[in-house]
Amino acid sequence: MALKTFGLMAVDWEERVNIDRLRKERLQRAKKLLGECELGALLCFDMNNIRYITSTHIGTWAMDKLVRFCLLPQNDEPILWDFGSAARHHQMYCPWLGDGRSRAGISLLRGAMSPESGRAEDVARKIRIALEERGLLGEPVGVDMLELPVLFALQKEGIKVVDGQQVMQNARMIKTQDEISLLSTACMMVDAAYEELYRAMRPGMRENQCVGLVNKILYDMGSEHVEGVNAISGERCSPHPHVYTDRTLRPGDPAYFDIVHSYLGYRTCYYRTFAIGSAPPSLVDAYKRCREYLDAALRLIKPGVTTGEVVEVWPKAQEFGFPDEEACFALQYGHGVGLSVWEKPIFSRLVSIDHPEVIQEGMVFALETFWPSTDGWSAARIEEELVVTKTGCEVITRFPAEELIVAGTRYYTSAGPLPATREIQAHLNTPSNGDAPRISKRSGQHQDEKVPV
């Protein structure tokens, strides 16, 4: 049965995404995996982990600040320390947290606060008190990420700090029903952005204008955050630079895009490749090869298959111009998608053959492939997101990508439309017999032509 993509509003006459169920099931999963390990608690500074555990959010501006933190103790509910008045806001509007569990607390703002201010020590003291009250002070505490002064302060308080990233990655790896609906909805919004991009692209448009258009469409549709839009065109396509510029699109250009945004926190990672006006045969061939590698991987996806088995169908680095797998990392690639754009499982010849992970029902991940053209500068890039089902998978990225799409004005001559596949220099004036036309040095006329009387 096809996965459901609902409208963006809540209604009384149809159950759509159940936000209360989403909150409960995410926390239950984190608690379950915490209970299965030897940690006394999880301490999270990563905004995405905090959101997963507490269902709170204070804006994407705070994503890289490491300012807020939460503690999930064994057999207890989470405690959140948040940025200034945000803590009071949660007390008023986040009843699921419970009384006394949303508190003010500030870390070091990525070192912006002076070490002498004592903020690191204050964070550590808050955590030590919470652990002591629950008899957990002697137990190891799993931490996802933190600043070094906070690490040293925790250790001085007698807290044993260990890696907590794997617990949270494993918790977020299998998606709930509502997470899958949100991920599918986020993809639907990118479908629409690609539609408008396809209609708008033409020679003279710049990469940054394409980025601006995509941002407008997504924010108008209700995107929470457009994390990034890769816009790569022309001779910038190979090697892939992973960043857009102000380069102007030209006839015959390849142009590929990766649109990364979130809807209620749930991300997309979604590449598509276009040709502008027409496509040279070398790009058409590269696209076909790129699609073949992607389809070969998609055909393998089902529960029980490993990431190692999937990457075996992808080319080795040396087959497309790189010395080793590290040098071409993320060109033939797969990754989980959820509250962040790269989650478990990872698909890469760099790690997956020697350290495979088993594909499970309920995973949501993206598979992306790349292939350079024989012309030495153009390339194709395609990516599909999918949900793993009981018997296989369902692709949730729907903008057409079976064959290379040509965007831009269709040009007509007196003989009819210009072909969509043509060499960029196809206009050169060379007769079919291969002989150069004879031009009169005196008049500039073809010598074969009769001069009108």
Convert the pLDDT of each residue in 276-301 to its tens digit: 999 999 999 999 999 999 999 999 99
Tell me the average pLDDT across 426-430: 51
Tell me the average pLDDT across 26-53: 97
- pLDDT higher for 427 or 246? 246
Q: Judge whether 10 lies within some domain.
A: no
The H or E element spanning position 70 is: strand 69-73
Q: Judge whether 387 lies within some domain.
A: yes
Domain end among 153, 172, 191? 172
Whichever domain contains 341, its CATH number is 3.90.230.10
Q: Are residues 164 and 233 in the same domain?
A: no
Q: Are residues 185 and 120 in the same domain?
A: no
Total domains in the fold of the chain:
2
Neighbouring residues of 178: CB distance < 8 A, sequence distance ≥ 6: 17, 18, 19, 21, 22, 25
Tell me how far apart the alpha carbons of residues 420 and 278 are, in angstroms, rounded to a whole number: 4
Tell me how far apart the alpha carbons of residues 324 and 287 are, in angstroms, rounded to a whole number: 23
Contact in structure between 261 and 223 (CB atoms under 8 Å): yes
Q: Judge whether 80 lies within some domain.
A: yes
| pLDDT value for 452 | 37
Tell me the average pLDDT across 440-445: 41
The one-letter amino acid code at 252 reads G
| pLDDT value for 134 | 97
Q: Are residues 193 and 325 in the same domain?
A: yes
Tell me the average pLDDT across 374-382: 96
Q: Alpha-carbon torsion 358, 359, 365, 367, what sign?
A: positive
Residue 408 has pLDDT above 60, yes or no: yes
Residue 433 has pLDDT above 80, yes or no: no
Q: Are residues 26 and 166 in the same domain?
A: yes
Tell me the average pLDDT across 102-108: 95
Residue 56 has pLDDT above 80, yes or no: yes
Q: Are residues 221 and 110 in the same domain?
A: no
Q: Are residues 272 and 154 in the same domain?
A: no
Write down the pTM of the prediction: 0.92
| pLDDT value for 202 | 96
| pLDDT value for 449 | 40
Residue range of the domain that includes 302:
177-407
Residue 445 has pLDDT above 60, yes or no: no
Tell me how far apart the alpha carbons of residues 402 and 272 are, in angstroms, rounded to a whole number: 10
Domain end among 172, 204, 220? 172
Lowest mean pLDDT among 27-31, 61-65, 167-171, 359-363: 61-65
Q: Judge whether 424 lies within some domain.
A: no
Q: Judge whether 257 lies within some domain.
A: yes
Could you read off the pLDDT of 234-251 as tens digits, one per residue?
Answer: 999 999 999 999 999 999
The whole-angstrom distance between residue 281's C-alpha and the CA centroid of its chain comes to: 30
Q: Are residues 247 and 291 in the same domain?
A: yes
- Name the pLDDT band for 7 (thresholds 50, 70, 90): confident
Residue-by-residue DSSP string for 351-393: TTTTS--B--TTBEEEEEEEEE-TTSS-EEEEEEEEEE-SSSE
Q: Are residues 92 and 182 in the same domain?
A: no
Tell me the average pLDDT across 101-121: 94
Please give the span between the terminal C-alpha atoms of the chain, in angstroms, as a whole number.
Answer: 76
Lowest mean pLDDT among 172-181, 373-382, 422-431: 422-431
Tell me the average pLDDT across 245-271: 97
Domain end among 111, 137, 172? 172
- Name the pLDDT band for 441 (thresholds 50, 70, 90): very low
Q: Judge whether 415 lies within some domain.
A: no
| pLDDT value for 425 | 64
Specify the DSSP class assigned to residue 144: S
Q: Judge whether 83 lies within some domain.
A: yes
Residue-by-residue DSSP string for 262-304: EETTEE--EEEEEEES-B-HHHHHHHHHHHHHHHHHHHH-STT
Write down the mean pLDDT value for the chain: 93
Q: Are residues 309 and 376 in the same domain?
A: yes
Q: Are residues 164 and 188 in the same domain?
A: no
Q: Judge whether 438 lies within some domain.
A: no
Residue 50 has pLDDT above 70, yes or no: yes
Could you read off the pLDDT of 336-353 as tens digits, one per residue?
Answer: 999 999 999 999 999 999
Tell me the average pLDDT across 247-274: 98
Residue 183 has pLDDT above 90, yes or no: yes
| pLDDT value for 443 | 40
The fraction of the chain above a pLDDT of 90, given in percent, is 88
CB atoms closer than 10 angstroms to residue 386: 21
Could you read off the pLDDT of 64-100 as tens digits, one per residue?
Answer: 999 999 999 999 999 999 998 999 999 999 999 999 9
Q: Are residues 222 and 275 in the same domain?
A: yes
Neighbouring residues of 353: CB distance < 8 A, sequence distance ≥ 6: 308, 311, 312
Whichever domain contains 129, its CATH number is 3.40.350.10
| pLDDT value for 410 | 87
Q: Are residues 98 and 154 in the same domain?
A: yes
